[in-house]
């Protein structure tokens, strides 16, 4: 028994030591020093980056390797196309969430021939250890968790404005990078071949530019592709909303009254998750079709002002501005929770809460109690920014679908013959996203009799030979390069049926 107790203490101590070692990556003594105020050097001797602590690189590398295990489509693209280098000569500037999954995407782009400079689209979502790992291998990363607003724009500027390097492709999430370049460096767009935008907020800004006649390069709308809408927006949010809320509040949702503002794919995922835990879910909507969908799914569609005094939780999922106003926050009951699952940090009118009569109390990381003069507290998560990526993690497998879509969109725009894409916003064709989905699922075979009952034709093909030919000379065929690339990913993952 004494031996068992000793072994137990040894294991417990070992676990504690291991945890403390891991925690030291994010709790080091120099964390109070702004990364902008210190010079760091990676093992290659480069200083062209700005991260929290380059010493976290080894820890970040392990995080990236773990993520790779669940990103089969992206890894397949990397392995099969890296010898052809379809992005050779591409200089990609990116502004996205910097996570382990994003790192797999960035390393794939580098393997395909691109040079990359990267910054974060959210001041709270960066994984510092991952940013360090990318900087260690030579990717110019300017991002760290907990940036100020000034830091945020400084990092974007450092990515774009550097001597001897000018981008020719943009990968954006939210439109801040594109906006900054239009505002500060409009001449750079003379060499930009295309923009790939991931979020609804950024896509809306692109359509505004297009409508005003100011969009001077082709843009690919990834957000409205089926692979983003039906998988990332729906399933990713369905799982990560609960993770974020549980980590930050410890609240039990059974019987709680929750309002979800917006019943798009993100809102649908949030509602489904909360309903499964026994919450009483209300929905606010401005789109009559989405509102009717919410009714059919068993949710009561209301106006926010009708229930604002009684609800326990408000979740915004619109990508719009001032969805929850100061007047509504004033009328919420004590202990209410307010958070955002849309990209923009303006869905909740947080700016109106920074007034002398209200007191802010930080109770834990990413959790603030806003206290009214009468003692009422409203719990604000992540200062109104994106909850799941600020306060928790997101499913790697679902993100791999979006990441592969982004990579293929970049390849398509970069290799497209002149004139194929005008100065407008484009969607990925449905058959392209169909191909991508087939890389991650098994399809049932049908016989000739069944085939004759369907308005489709069936074919089987070996795609790698034709792929090599197109990659070597992409202008000699009318077949879009993106279709060929997706099809060879399919052939590497499964024995498939291609339905035209």
> What confidence tens digit (pLDDT) does each residue in 335-353 have?
999 999 987 788 999 999 9
Lowest mean pLDDT, pick from 75-79, 165-169, 325-329: 75-79
Is the pLDDT score of 104 beyond 50?
yes
Q: Report how far apart, in Å, the C-alpha atoms of 196 and of each of 177, 190, 218, 263, 381 are.
A: 11, 16, 9, 25, 29
Q: Which fold has domain 233-385?
A: Rossmann fold (3.40.50)
Structure tokens at 61: 């590398």
294 closest CA partner among 322, 321, 274: 274
Q: How far apart are CA 491 and CA 84, in angstroms?
A: 17
Domain pair 35-224+395-440 / 233-385, same fold:
yes
pLDDT of residue 432: 63
Helix H or strand E segment including 363: strand 359-364
Q: How far apart are CA 214 and CA 53, in angstroms?
A: 40
pLDDT of residue 23: 34
Domain boundaries 35-224+395-440, CATH class: alpha beta
Condensed to tens digits (0 to 9), the pLDDT of residues 107-164 reads 999 999 999 999 999 999 999 999 999 999 999 999 999 999 999 999 999 999 999 8
Is the pLDDT score of 495 beyond 60?
no
Confidence of residue 11 (pLDDT cuts 50, 70, 90): very low
Q: How far apart are CA 443 and CA 499, in angstroms?
A: 11
pTM: 0.77
Helices (H), 252-325: 265-276, 288-296, 304-307
262 closest CA partner among 318, 338, 300: 318
Domain ranges of the chain: 35-224+395-440, 233-385
Is the pLDDT score of 410 beyond 60?
yes
Q: Is 74 in contact with 108 (CB distance < 8 Å)?
A: yes
DSSP secondary structure string for all residues of 419-468: TSS-SSEEEPPHHHHHHHHHTTS-PPP--HHHHHTSS--EE----HHHHH
435 or 62: which carries more pLDDT confidence?
Answer: 62
Q: How far apart are CA 166 and CA 180, in angstroms?
A: 15
Write down the mean pLDDT value for the chain.
84
Condensed to tens digits (0 to 9), the pLDDT of residues 349-377 reads 999 999 999 999 999 989 999 999 999 99
Q: How far apart are CA 350 and CA 354, in angstroms?
A: 7
Condensed to tens digits (0 to 9), the pLDDT of residues 168-191 reads 999 999 999 999 999 999 999 999
pLDDT of residue 153: 97
Q: Kindly report the number of other CB atoms within 10 A of residue 33's CB atom.
A: 12
Condensed to tens digits (0 to 9), the pLDDT of residues 434-472 reads 666 666 665 556 666 666 666 644 444 333 333 333 333
């Amino acid at each position: 028994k004494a031996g068992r107790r000793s072994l137990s203490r040894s294991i417990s101590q070992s676990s504690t030591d291991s945890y403390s070692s891991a925690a030291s990556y994010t709790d080091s003594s120099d964390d109070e020093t702004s990364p902008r105020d210190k010079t760091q050097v990676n093992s290659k001797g480069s200083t062209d980056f700005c991260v929290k602590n380059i010493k976290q690189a080894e820890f970040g590398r392990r995080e990236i390797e773990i993520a790779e295990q669940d990103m089969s489509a992206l890894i397949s693209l990397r392995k099969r196309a890296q010898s052809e280098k379809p992005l050779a000569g591409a200089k990609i500037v990116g502004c996205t969430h910097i996570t382990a999954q994003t790192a797999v995407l960035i390393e794939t782009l580098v393997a395909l021939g691109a040079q990359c400079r990267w910054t974060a689209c959210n001041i709270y979502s960066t994984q510092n250890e991952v940013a360090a790992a990318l900087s260690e291998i030579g990717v110019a990363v300017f991002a760290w968790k907990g940036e100020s607003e000034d830091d945020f724009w400084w990092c974007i500027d450092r990515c774009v404005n550097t001597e001897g390097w000018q981008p020719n492709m943009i990968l954006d999430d939210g439109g801040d990078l594109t906006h900054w370049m239009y505002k500060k460096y409009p001449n750079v767009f003379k060499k930009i071949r295309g923009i790939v935008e991931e979020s609804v907020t950024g896509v809306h800004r692109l359509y505004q530019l297009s409508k005003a006649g100011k969009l001077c390069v082709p843009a690919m709308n990834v957000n409205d592709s089926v692979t983003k809408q039906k998988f990332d927006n729906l399933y990713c949010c369905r799982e990560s909303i609960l993770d974020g809320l549980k980590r930050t509040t410890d609240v039990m949702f059974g019987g709680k009254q929750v309002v979800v503002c917006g019943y798009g794919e993100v809102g649908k995922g949030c509602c489904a998750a909360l309903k499964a835990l026994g919450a009483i879910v209300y929905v606010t909507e401005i789109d009559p079709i989405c509102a009717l969908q919410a009714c059919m799914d068993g949710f009561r569609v209301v106006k926010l002002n009708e229930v604002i005094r009684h609800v326990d939780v408000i979740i915004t999922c619109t990508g719009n501005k001032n969805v929850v106003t100061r007047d509504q926050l004033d009328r919420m009951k004590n202990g209410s929770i307010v958070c955002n699952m849309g990209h923009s940090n303006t869905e909740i009118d947080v700016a109106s809460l920074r007034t002398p009569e209200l007191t802010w109390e930080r109770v834990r990381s990413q959790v603030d109690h806003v206290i009214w003069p009468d003692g009422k507290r409203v719990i604000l998560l992540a200062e109104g920014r994106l909850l799941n990526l600020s306060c928790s993690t997101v499913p790697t497998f679902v993100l791999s679908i979006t990441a592969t879509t982004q990579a293929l969109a970049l390849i398509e725009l970069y290799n497209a013959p002149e004139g194929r894409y005008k100065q407008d916003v484009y969607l990925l064709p449905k058959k392209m996203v169909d191909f991508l989905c087939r890389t991650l699922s098994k399809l049932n075979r049908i016989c000739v009799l069944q085939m004759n009952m369907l308005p489709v034709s069936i074919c089987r093909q070996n795609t790698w030979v034709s792929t090599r030919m197109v990659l070597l000379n992409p202008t000699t065929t009318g077949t879009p390069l993106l279709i060929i690339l997706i099809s060879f990913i399919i052939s590497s993952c499964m024995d498939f049926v291609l339905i035209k």
